[in-house]
């Protein structure tokens, strides 16, 4: 497969026909970023049912980090599927689960001895990390931040920040959650122009919250994302991340690092935390773990995870044999792809910085490695978010064969998250389309 190749209007007739089924039978509450229906995908390309081929810069929201259907992952899946589909880890153990736990423990940025267990979705991993943290600490409090996204279940929705659409109308959340300001360097909530200073002030809020909101003895954990993903691809200052570790140590509170979007090579390192030089007590993983098969994990300090009584954690499908086999093959491929990923990140960032110099509507370029984003504003002085322009750029890109998605509290951030092993010429083609799409959207204001 190669692309982009556009052979019909978008959406084409077959996509439109199938989308009628979606309209009729699927609740409207699910996001619908594009109106196309996909037939097959390989590497960085996606082909729709009308034969249009797109370059995929959304990677299924940071899932197909090493491309669609990598050969080695396909072989691992089919090999495992022919032998064993399910026992449930509670009933009888199997090799792929155990080998995956061993691998993640050996690779994860956890201080000291660690263990790992598996679940089905990102939100379920976060639920479990919080459950275990509360159990271990015998404390209810969880400190979370503005701009955070940790999922849509009843507990994780309460940890997530953005009200509409994620929380609006769903009412009471799980008690004990304290939300504090997040150091968003481009829009520092304290008005600071200095990124590191912004981070330090955010830490002071936590110290103050321990006096005014919740006592550290009653706080189980602080949870944060090394890059606030859905919140707008916001990279926190180093001072903040290092300070979170120091505060957690000072007060004996656990540090849960949600790497569901940032992990698995997404930032050019296996874990984004490696950019900050600290270790976590618990890490949550999912998305990019298994190239699209559903699986998630909590990797954490052995004393913390082993504190829970038998039967207190787990689930029927968590870490099923096929997903675990896919994860083992995916992680090996990610590890091999990391040097390439760093170069992809450098090229991407350089091109985005050039676009920043060219287009006033780009207020900010940010990210780590091949997890980058631009924030669109009406003008650089007011920084007024420009959501409609963002939508028009994404639409224009789709019509030219490039799939992009937005992010952010104001819906004015475009994330650029290609497969980390994308060929340089495909990357170059996609970035050319991206620039054309910006120009097109500005021309058609």
Ligand X SMILES: Cc1ncc(COP(=O)(O)O)c(C=O)c1O
Tell me whether residue 151 or residue 300 sits nearer to ligand X (CB atom).
151
Nearer to ligand X, 260 or 334 (CB): 260
Q: Which is nearer to ligand X, 195 or 258 (CB)?
A: 258
Residue number with CB closer to ligand X (61 or 393): 61
Q: Which residues here bind ligand X, judged by CB under 6 A?
A: 61, 121-123, 126, 149-151, 225, 229-230, 258, 260-261, 286
What are the φ and ψ backbone dihedral angles of 374, each rounded to 5 degrees? -120, 150
Q: Round to whole Å and give the CA distance between 86 and 88.
A: 6
Closer Cβ to ligand X, 183 or 226, answer by number: 226
Six-digit token pair at 398?
Answer: 């789709």
- Residue pair 386/412 in contact (Cβ under 8 Å)? The answer is yes
Q: Is 417 or 431 the residue whose CB approaches ligand X more closely?
A: 417
CB closer to ligand X, 143 vs 427: 143
Closest listed residue to residue 161, CA positions, set 175, 178, 149: 149
Give the number of residues written for the chain.
445
Q: How far is CA 326 from the centre of its chain?
A: 19
Closest-by-Cβ residue to ligand X is 122
CA 309, chain centre distance (Å): 31
- Which tokens hold the place of 296? 């998630």
Q: Which is nearer to ligand X, 153 or 192 (CB)?
A: 153
CB of 229 to ligand X, least distance (A): 4
Minimum distance of ligand X from residue 383's CB (angstroms): 24
- The sheet with strand 114-119 has its strands ordered as 114-119, 296-301, 282-285, 254-258, 219-224, 141-145, 177-180
Query: Cβ neighbours of residue 191 under 8 Å, at least 6 residues apart?
Result: none
Instruction: Identify any residues that bridge with 366 across adjacent strands, giving them in sequence order.
Output: 373
10 Å Cβ neighbour count for 233?
A: 28
CB 307, min distance to ligand X, A:
23
Instruction: Give min distance, CB of 202 to ligand X, in A.
Output: 18
Provide the minimum distance between the beta carbon of 358 and ligand X in the complex, in angstroms, as a whole number. Answer: 30
């Amino acid at each position: 497969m190669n692309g982009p190749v556009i052979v019909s209007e978008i959406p084409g007739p077959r996509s439109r026909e199938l989308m009628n089924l979606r309209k009729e039978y699927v609740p409207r509450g699910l996001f619908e970023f594009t109106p196309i229906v996909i037939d097959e995908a390989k590497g960085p390309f996606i082909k729709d049912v009308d034969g249009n081929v797109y370059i995929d810069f959304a990677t299924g929201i940071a899932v197909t980090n090493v491309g669609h259907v990598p050969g080695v992952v396909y072989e691992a899946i089919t090999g495992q599927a022919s032998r064993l589909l399910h026992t449930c880890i509670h009933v009888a153990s199997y090799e792929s689960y155990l080998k995956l736990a061993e691998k993640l423990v050996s690779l994860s940025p956890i201080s000291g001895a660690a263990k790992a267990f598996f679940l089905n979705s990102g939100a379920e991993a976060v639920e479990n990390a919080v459950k275990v943290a509360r159990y271990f600490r015998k404390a209810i409090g969880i400190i979370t931040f503005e701009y955070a996204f940790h999922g849509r279940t009843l507990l994780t929705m309460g940890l997530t920040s953005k009200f509409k659409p994620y929380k609006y109308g769903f009412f009471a959340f799980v008690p004990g959650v304290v939300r504090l300001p997040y150091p968003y360097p481009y829009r520092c909530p304290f008005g600071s122009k200095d990124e590191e200073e912004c981070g330090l002030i955010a830490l002071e809020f936590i110290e103050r919250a321990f006096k005014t909101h919740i006592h550290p003895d009653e706080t189980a954990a602080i949870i944060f994302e090394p890059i606030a993903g859905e919140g707008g691809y916001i990279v926190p200052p180093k001072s903040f991340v290092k300070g979170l570790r120091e505060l957690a140590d000072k007060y004996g509170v656990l540090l849960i690092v949600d790497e569901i979007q940032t992990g698995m090579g997404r930032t050019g390192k296996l874990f984004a935390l490696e950019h900050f030089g600290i270790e976590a007590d618990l890490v949550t993983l999912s998305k990019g773990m298994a190239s699209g098969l559903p699986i998630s994990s909590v990797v954490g300090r052995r004393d913390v995870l082993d504190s829970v009584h038998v039967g207190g954690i787990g689930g029927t499908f968590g870490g099923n044999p096929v997903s675990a086999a896919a994860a083992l093959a995916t992680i090996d491929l990610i590890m091999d792809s990391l040097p390439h990923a760093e170069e992809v990140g450098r090229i991407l960032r350089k091109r985005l910085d050039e676009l920043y110099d060219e287009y006033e509507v780009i207020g900010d370029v940010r990210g780590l490695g091949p997890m980058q984003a631009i924030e669109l504003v009406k003008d650089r002085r007011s920084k007024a978010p420009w959501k409609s322009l963002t939508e028009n750029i994404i639409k224009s890109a789709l019509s030219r064969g490039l799939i992009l998605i937005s992010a952010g509290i104001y819906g004015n951030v475009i994330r650029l998250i290609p497969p980390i092993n994308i060929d340089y010429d495909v990357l170059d083609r996609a970035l050319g389309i991206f620039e054309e799409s910006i120009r097109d959207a500005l021309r058609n204001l």
